[in-house]
Structure 1
Amino acid sequence: MKQDHTLYSRGGIITERNADYATIRLRVPAGVLSAAQVKQLARISEKYGDGSLHLTMRQTVEIPHVNPENLKKIVKALDKNGTPIGAEYNEVVNIMACPGTERCKYANCETIDLARKVDERVFGKELPIRLRIAISGCTYMCNSPLLNDIGIIGRIRPLRTPGLCTGCGTCVEYCKQCAIVLKNGISVLDESKCVQCGVCVHSCPYHLLKSEYAHYTRKSVKP
């Protein structure tokens, strides 16, 4: 079978165990797809693949069992759908992100738009290694940013206004770092233990705790 080696050099086209077929990995920053895009992907898979879609750990989609003779056609159909070929080799692969402040009540920072901006700037750039980037809106880190080469984490610094604390102790109960204690009927924060997760701000039943500012921190894997 004559294969188009130019197309096969693209990272999102992966030769399967049976070399007569390929799996197509897509570019889906933050794992966000519209219902219309998902429906069209189903049609594309039924036409060019085996009718199935595989959701990957990096929040992207794969179309398995594609005949290499159809690669040009499927690439064109995917581009038209806004779900182009992704990356897999020594390059920046799919950018991951949690829902962030768009939906998550614990999130400190926006993530989806940031993931799209990072994707626009660096996705698919060729590097000596495969580079993984993940963005988390808070220190719960549901998408495991610390297991990526670059992890971006949203944090907020809690601000306590003197005289407003009721001493209910809710923030003390919720703080997993044991960074807050009650002294003389008011909450006191130990800055050295605080990881700026924002849980105390979100849990205060009287909304008396505020965030001084929201920011991101970046963790990179050391070479």
Structure 2
Amino acid sequence: MENKEAMVKLAINGGIKFGSKLSAKQLSVIAEHMGSHSELELTTFQQLYIEIPESQLEDTKEKFREVGISVYPVGNFIKSLRTCNFCKGEEEEGMPVAIELNRRIAGRSVPFTLRPAYAGCPVGCGEPLVNDIGVMKVRDRYDLYLAGKAKGKDAQLGTLFMEQMESEQLYDVVDKIIEIYAEKGKKREPFFKFVNRIGIEILKEQITA
């Protein structure tokens, strides 16, 4: 019996920009690295899942990056930042902050898949209140919500954790939250359960200590 080569699943998207878009060139490169019977899986988190032969993995990742396709691991990692469509322009909607936050956190290992989201204004098109970590830009500051959950009978809105933060403070606080979750979260414990178990106020004390 012929041995089939091991396949590795990757999560990809067109990067953090104005809407969830892929260019014709990006689509062409993706198609070049798919087999004739391969399929792309569209996720609810602005990502596509694609399976690549293990022997071609590093070359494929490099080809993707050359055309601006972002590549992330699949599994118990932080997802790439879910965003709104940045409808009023780059600076006003805070895209540079979204790009930098994504660079800092996406792909980090955590006890269970963690979904961060970003909205460039209080309309909240990026759905920050129903994801694990939600950031909402309000004027020229940033509000941070934790432990939102969109699915199930126990669905819940995120709790306002800190508000009116400068961008550097936002990066620092989110980084500390992720470090605490990575260290103290139980194996396969969803983030909202971790926050509910630890408690918002205790978590805040640990962040600001």
Provide the aligned length of Structure 1 versus Structure 2. Answer: 144
Farther off after superposition, 81-90 or 131-140: 81-90
Aligned to 1:219: 145
1:58 aligns with 2:45: yes
Letter paired with 2:120: G
Q: 2:74 aligns with which of 84, 88, 100?
A: 88
Per the alignment, do residues 102 and 62 of structure 1 end up closer, same or farther by CA in structure 2, a change over 3 Å counting? farther
Letter in 1 for 2:145: K
C-alpha separation in 2, matches of 1:99 and 1:69: 36
- 1:136 Cα deviation after fit: 0.8
- Report the TM-score, using the length of structure 1 for normalisation: 0.52
Alpha-carbon distance between aligned partners in 2 of 1:88 and 1:122, rounded to the nearest angstrom: 14
Deviation at 1:70, TM superposition (A): 3.3
More helix by share: 2
Contact 1:109 1:155 in 2 (8 A): no
Q: Extract unaligned runs of 5+ from structure 1.
A: 4-19, 157-213
* 1:70 maps to amino acid: Q
- For the aligned residue pairs, the C-alpha RMSD in angstroms reads 3.2
Q: Deviations over 1:84-139 (max 9, x none)?
A: 421332222111211235359xxx95232211110222221222232211111223
What are the residue-to-residue correspondences of 1:116-131 with 2, within 5 Å? Answer: 116-131=99-114
The reply to whether residue 152 of structure 1 matches residue 101 of structure 2 is no
* Identical columns (%): 24
Flag structure 2 segments of 5+ consecutive residues without an equivalent.
Answer: 148-194, 197-209
Q: Residue 134 of structure 1 aligns with which residue?
A: 117
Letter in 2 for 1:58: F
Preserved CA contact (<8 Å) 2:79 2:107: yes
Distance 1:113 1:120 in 2: 11
| Structure with greater Cα Rg | 1
How many Å separate the matches in 1 of 2:55 and 2:34? Answer: 10
Kindly indicate whether the alpha-carbon contact (under 8 Å) linking 1:22 and 1:68 is maintained by their aligned counterparts in 2: yes
**TM-score under structure 2 normalisation?**
0.55
